[in-house]
Structure 1
């Protein structure tokens, strides 16, 4: 029954690709093939698949926060849209999968799209749209750039989508690895296909058959069929060829390409990691803290900034933009060093009066302790309470009120904080 074919495991094989494939598609009237290396083919390359997943997993695991200026301070506040961005998107994909898909499309295609389902000014849900299902119709005005977005035969305005692009000239569509680095991806894939074919053939070496006399058509066809079966990956490898009298097999020497195939694969992998801006040491887990932090700052942070800008452009109301509201990724955990380095940093920050103990605890996701919103100051050390605005000198027991100015005191003291005789 056809129903049970649904459970049959799909079998994929490596197949060499090249310019002739694109030509044949055009001549046969098949779908347009702008990129010889498609997404499905590219993701069969282990280094590319692993690199994209590594970046996308990092980005998708980060929480998005909503910030607003309150009394001259920028503070993180709650907002109903955070649930759509961090938990339930309203789509069949949850927020993690949506962010993962956006980053993957951004890297491969150079553009990613998220439809914003609105009712008036309220956002009801967010929906990921496959970049291959989207067509852009620009207005071709080099100054006042705009356009329409076509999905499944329906036109949409650009403000209905969160548009995430790179290497773009109009902000609506861009260029990714599939178009900008197609030669490298084609070379890497064909190298994998070459290795796969050799392994599938059981390591049988290439050669030629020499005949002492001319073979008839029937004998020639039988020899070709047997030889093709020997190298065919789908044929039982226990098969063998029996050469009749007068036939000799002469092995061909390996080419330089065959001898260097392992090094070629390693170099291809390094090249792919290079275009993804991922150090090999980060991928194999041998990177130092400095190397990892440099990777975060040069690769992940710019990606987060671009994604946050795209969210801010579409998800914020104009009044919110004027008030200085914005969405941003919480990157505290990304740049944390080891425990010893972090706590030494906190010690310096507390002793120099830059941070309060509770602020340091917040960085470690710990609950605040009542009475620890204090800043150490000089005079070895006087304590400043940020909530009551009072200065306290432990060695004298004096409390100095700072309601009007820093040294507006409840007792008569000089500018050094000492009593006036």
Structure 2
């Protein structure tokens, strides 16, 4: 799972063995995107991705993949050459090896739903059924099944972005063929490496900008692991690996539930309290929310075991079944009535983000207007505190991060966007300081 605002979640990686090689031409970043040829060559813009390895580790591998016109590609050479994936259910190792180099540059092509995996010690292993890469798991001891050195035992993490033509309307100060680059360094599933990404480009007014996200401090990783261990049970159980060695990662609570190291009922008490508070009649028993695309007003109350939001004026309802702890940490979808109402569908999507965010930040009991953004000091103060998200935010650059899927509600996510990108830098901060 990844941060919801920026990318769709349906990737992974695998099998170089019979892949068809595609030469990707290096085109200046300001040039217009060309339509792919009918043959073997795909002409795309590229932009230099410089990886600065301050980790203190050598034997670094980098694996980059994404989609273009619905086809998945992965980068096979630092110059930007790409290949399609084979249709294979067998695990294959992927990654460009850079040994002990402190700085490397890869020309990354204009692709959507792109991931940049960095691993140390060994390459990551992926399948590619239907030509689509799988998602490696840092929370399953058997990923990949039967492998001597599975992904679970590999020190790795990833950075993700999408780069493509700016949808209409294009800001008037930008050229008609302007592109956008939007990305984030997510911890929705896990935190493994302290990465800081930097985007260089222009803003909507065509002014030069440099934007960052992730982790800037050289001590970020050490402090995150120390804080999670200090938090005690069950939070310290989310730390994977360690002992006399460098810990591998901290996994998210819902992955901890799947792995059997985090209690499946940990958040049930807070959910029960929210459902109890908003059962009954009167303003104090009512949740208020306003959505923006288009502007709609909703009021919510618990009916039976469901939290039901009613749209004011136009009618229609959005219903959330009472969640389990796992569903609350993952985010769960509502049902709509009528189901074919496009505006209601849009509003339901926004309500879903607000409901998860106010539960995860434990503000839903204290504040019944869930569309309002309180001061950030209101987050992670009411029991039970989400120590995973709180800790990630505390040590992230500008305290912006993705500790859960809809963490961008009230602009708390780490995503950044520039137009006409000219450079991307990914810095791996020290692991043991």
| TM-score tier after normalising by the smaller chain length | under 0.3
TM-score by length of 1: 0.21
| Structure label with greater radius of gyration | 1
Structure richer in helix, relative to its length: 1
Q: Which has the higher strand share?
A: 2
Question: Does 1 or 2 have the higher relative contact order (CA < 8 Å, sep 6+)?
Answer: 2
